Amino acid sequence: MATAPPPPSDTAHLDAQELRAWRGLLRTYARLTKALDAELEAAHGLPLSSYEVLMLIADAEGGQMRMHDIASSILLSRSGLTRLVDRLERDGLLCRKSCSSDARGAFACLTPKGRDVLDAARAAHLAGVRAKFLDHFSPAEQEQLGGFWERVAST
Amino acid sequence: MATAPPPPSDTAHLDAQELRAWRGLLRTYARLTKALDAELEAAHGLPLSSYEVLMLIADAEGGQMRMHDIASSILLSRSGLTRLVDRLERDGLLCRKSCSSDARGAFACLTPKGRDVLDAARAAHLAGVRAKFLDHFSPAEQEQLGGFWERVAST
DNA sequence: AAGCTGTGGTTGCACACGCAACTGCTCGCG
DNA sequence: CGCGAGCAGTTGCGTGTGCAACCACAGCTT
């Protein structure tokens, strides 16, 4: 049984400007990720989620990263990441390494092939991100957007 | 890390401000939709995608809408929408109606129960959207965000 | 040292989604 | 009139993901 929470009751609708700000986010995200994912997949056979993982690891210290840290960085469940890393390992793009200081842990680190694939994909993908998103904003606006996200994230 | 004047044509990396603007979007979207979906699901047993469909139909002329139009509005594949509507119909929240002017088409329209559930969910959900997102912005900033999305969508 | 609680990672299962193939219908064109 | 092209919607199949249960280990507490 749904118990109605005590709402500020006469706010049953978003006004036009709220709607634009909110639904715009939803649509923009959906459109951009679909387009970029398709682009990446077509050009390098690499889904966006795999790309994110490879790039995260490549930019990490020592070219390796703990599973848990990867998962929380890209907001993926641990099981989801396990499977994703399974696929990347099967494709020879990265490999698991056990952690000497904590036997529970596992590192994921890039193989040479993984680094090659990533390097090939990175330029094209970043160009896509710029063309489809960043180029629509001035440097000042980009800075402002960054501040917006930080504000939202802070709660 | 001082941002030297790197030519925006450095294709291999995003600079710090580009990164903040871009990854902020990804993370914000992921965090927000997960939180709002969980909230909605817990309070009214309604996933976010179902809510979107119900609301779209409720706000449409005559309380009904063609399948194709729904799908394109929420950027879902047609097959995905078929299954989603299957679930909603099974749960008694909406029903299919054949289209008299085009025998290929089908309308989805709310049942009384669907409208009740939606009305109950709407206030709580909108409050969540405001609390988690909109309230972080002044009216002027909301307006600006709306303009941003429009700019990105225009390509 | 033994036990207990919490954490890192993997597995079983269910589910939502996309793609491609299919059905049934509409519409235009010869 | 009939035929072919194309669209609306559904179905079969494969896949990516989350949740919950599980195992192995770390770090306390006693």
B147 strand C contact, CB < 7 Å: no
How many degrees, rounded to 5, is the angle at CA A153 between CA A127 and CA B122? 105
pLDDT digit string, tens, across residues B142-155: 999 999 999 999 87
Binary contact (B24, A149; C-beta < 8 A): yes
Question: A1: pLDDT confidence band, cut at 50, 70 and 90?
Answer: very low
pLDDT digit string, tens, across residues A10-37: 567 889 999 999 999 999 999 999 999 9
Q: Which of B10, B152, B154 to mutate to test the interface with A (most CBs of A within 10 A)?
A: B152
Q: Quick one: average pLDDT of A104-133?
A: 95
Closest CA to B131 of B45, B55, B36: B36
Phi-psi sector, A63: left (phi>0), alpha (psi -120 to 50), beta: left
Contact in structure between B77 and B71 (CB atoms under 8 Å): yes
Binary contact (B26, A29; C-beta < 8 A): yes
Greatest Cα pair distance in chain B:
66
Per-residue pLDDT for B141 more than 50? yes
pLDDT at B10: 65
How many CB atoms sit inside 10 A of residue A106's CB?
Answer: 16
User: Architecture of domain A40-128 in CATH?
Assistant: Orthogonal Bundle (1.10)
Q: Which of A28, A32, A59, A73 to mutate to test the interface with B (most CBs of B within 10 A)?
A: A28
pLDDT digit string, tens, across residues A69-95: 999 999 999 999 999 999 999 999 999
pLDDT at B89: 97
pLDDT digit string, tens, across residues A45-62: 999 999 999 999 999 989
Q: Which two tokens stand for residue A104?
A: 């529970």
Per-residue pLDDT for B9 more than 70? no
Fold of B32-131: Arc Repressor Mutant, subunit A (1.10.10)
Q: Which two tokens stand for residue B7?
A: 């030519």
Per-residue pLDDT for B4 more than 60? no
Q: Which of residues 54-113 of B touch A (CB under 8 A)?
A: 75
Per-residue pLDDT for B129 more than 50? yes
Q: Write out chain B residues lying below 8 Å of A137, CB-based.
A: 21, 148, 151
**Cα(A122)–Cα(A58) distance, integer angstroms:** 11
Consecutive H or E run containing B57: helix B48-59
Per-residue pLDDT for B8 more than 90? no
Q: Write out chain B residues lying below 8 Å of A75, CB-based.
A: 27, 30-31, 34
pLDDT at A4: 39
Question: What residues does each domain of chain B span?
Answer: 32-131
